[in-house]
Amino acid sequence: MADETPMKAVQVKLVLLGEAAVGKSSLVLRFVQNDFNENTSPTIGAAFLTQRCRLENRIVKFEIWDTAGQERFHSLAPMYYRNAAAAVVVYDITKSASLEKAKAWVKELQRQANPNIIIALVGNKLDLVSDTPSEPPTDGSEVERDEEDEETTPKPAESTEDGDSRQVSIAEAETYAKECGLLFFEASAKVGTNVNEVFTEIAKAIPLDTISPKPAAAAQGARKPATQAEGGVNLGEQQAKKGGCC
């Protein structure tokens, strides 16, 4: 199926989760603005952002949903998880409590979301620790740290130069991720380290055929494109709107 039309974009809903201020939105901003900017000029706080991820055999179009602050009081609606084929659960490697929160979110995903959801655990703020360049545990992807160094100007580490601020070791998080079958990365939204890799690996991990089992039920079911184009759904182009966000 997908082989015949290899370059047709498949749409994948991806949700972000994690404690407030771990950098969920910045990760997305980095991903969406940096590298594949074929279409939109996104803004944080939009309903959702889209970004294409080009793989060898297909294009995955991510529809990225930010929590819009609804994670603070655990008031994320079922709609948020609905039909998400992927989730990025973010923690801050300089705050051990944030990993605990991340684990809780993974549990919540297992409860609420599609059982086949691809989950990536991402330890953000790698730029705040300057110890070893952290290799991602997955074999395939390479760390292309230099690629986005144009923004290294901001202060690298807040506290010390030698990475004292790290509170979550790679080993700890990686072990947990392995146990739960999650993709795992350490990344820096600020510098750009590993950000694209997170999304690329997710895109690769999404099974070709099971993409959106139901999501576009309306889209596929309604033979009248009008229902989609003007009706309830894809009304007009999406416009990024600013608003409060974590």
Partner 1 sequence: MSPSELESDTYDVVVIGTNLSGSIVAASLAKAGKSILHIDPNEYYGSSHSSLTLDELIQWSSLHSSPSLTSHQYSQASTSTLTPSLHSDRRRYALSLYPAILPSRGSMIQTLIDSEVSKYVSFRLLGSVSVYNSTQPLNSSGEKEETGMVKNSKEVKVRRVPGSKEDIFKDTSINLRDKRKLMKFLLWASGSYEITTVFMENKHKRMGEFLKDVFGLDVKLADQICYAIAHCDDPEEKVERVLGRMNRYLKSIGRYGSGAFLVGQYGSAGEVAQGFCRACAVYGGTYVLGPSAKLESISASEDGVILRLPCHPRDIKASKVISTAEHLPENLRPAAAEVIITTAQCIAILPSFPELLRQSRGSSEGTQTEEEGSEENEDTAVLLFPPEGEMGLVRALIMGEGTGSCPPRQWILYLSSVVSESTPPKCLEPYLSRLSSEPLFSAFYFSHRPKYDIPAEKLLPSDKNIVLLRPCESLDMTEGMDWEAKQAEAAFWQVVGKDGQVGYFEKTEEGEESE
Residues that bind partner 1 in the complex, under the rule CB under 8 A: 43-48, 68-70, 72-75, 77-80, 82, 111-112, 214, 217-219, 221-224, 226-227, 230-236, 238-239, 241-245
- CA dihedral (217, 18, 120, 116) in degrees, to 10, reads -40
Answer for the pair 59, 53: CB distance below 8 angstroms, yes or no: yes
| Residue 1 vs 226, nearer CB to partner 1 | 226
How near is the Cβ of 117 to partner 1 at its closest, in Å? 13
Rounded-to-integer distance, Cα 164 and Cα 128, Å: 9
How near is the Cβ of 134 to partner 1 at its closest, in Å? 29
Answer for the pair 48, 64: CB distance below 8 angstroms, yes or no: yes
| Residue 63 vs 186, nearer CB to partner 1 | 63
Rounded-to-integer distance, Cα 60 and Cα 6, Å: 11
| Residue 32 vs 177, nearer CB to partner 1 | 32
How near is the Cβ of 65 to partner 1 at its closest, in Å? 9
- CA dihedral (27, 29, 33, 37) in degrees, to 10, reads 90
Rounded-to-integer distance, Cα 10 and Cα 121, Å: 23
List Cβ neighbours of 198 (8 Å cut-off, separation of 6 or more).
Answer: 27, 31, 88, 120, 122, 183, 185, 187
| Residue 96 vs 130, nearer CB to partner 1 | 96
| Residue 155 vs 241, nearer CB to partner 1 | 241
Strands 59-65 and 48-54: antiparallel
How near is the Cβ of 12 to partner 1 at its closest, in Å? 16
| Residue 70 vs 116, nearer CB to partner 1 | 70
| Residue 1 vs 79, nearer CB to partner 1 | 79
How near is the Cβ of 87 to partner 1 at its closest, in Å? 16
83, 108, 208 from 195: Cα distances, Å: 23, 24, 22
How near is the Cβ of 23 to partner 1 at its closest, in Å? 14
How near is the Cβ of 20 to partner 1 at its closest, in Å? 8
